[in-house]
Structure formats: C-alpha cells, structure tokens
Amino acid sequence: MISIREVEHVALLARLSLSEKEKEIFAEQLSTILDYINKLNELDTDGVEPLYHILPIYNIFREDEVKTGTSREDILANAPQVEEGQYKVPKII
C-alpha cells in the first residue's frame, strides 16, 4: 500500500501540486498498479544483466565544431515571460 504521506513525498519530488482528492485517488491507484507490477518478483533475476536499450552503441562523439543553431529570438518566442533576451522566473532565493 502507498500511503498519503508517500504520495505527498513523491509529488514533491515530481514537482506536482496535488489536491487532497488527487492524493487519495493516486494512493489507491498506484497501490493497485504496484500490486500488479510485483508480479515481477515471481522471476529469479539473480545474475541477469539489466537491458537499458537494445542497441550495441555506447557513447557517440562528434567533432566540436561551431555550427549555426536556432536563433535566440526564435527560441524565446515560446517563453511565457522574457526580459532583455532572457527567461524570467519568480524569485529563486
């Protein structure tokens, strides 16, 4: 079972502000889903290497060359708040 306190902790980590009602629903739904997921414990996976992705590739490197990217103007066009060519956010500290 996932408790309301655990839901609150995870919601804080995920930066999601949840209503009291949502906390209750998620506690119940996440518990049901995790119960189902616990089926995985039927399998003995000792000594099995985890598979992160299927490609036989690791780090991909390229030359560090200067190229033309997207313009600052184009990128800032989607920002909710801009000032002097920068993103503007509420006070951090």
What residues make contact with other proteins under the rule CB under 8 A? Answer: 2, 6-7, 9-18, 22, 26, 29-30, 32-34, 36-43, 45, 48-55, 57, 60, 62, 70-71, 74-75, 77-81, 87, 89-92
Conformation bin of residue 47: beta by default, left when phi > 0, alpha when psi is -120 to 50: left
Q: How far apart are alpha carbons 33 and 1 in whole angstroms?
A: 10
Beta-strand (E) ranges in 1-93?
82-83, 86-87
CB of 10 to other proteins, least distance (A): 5
CB of 27 to other proteins, least distance (A): 10
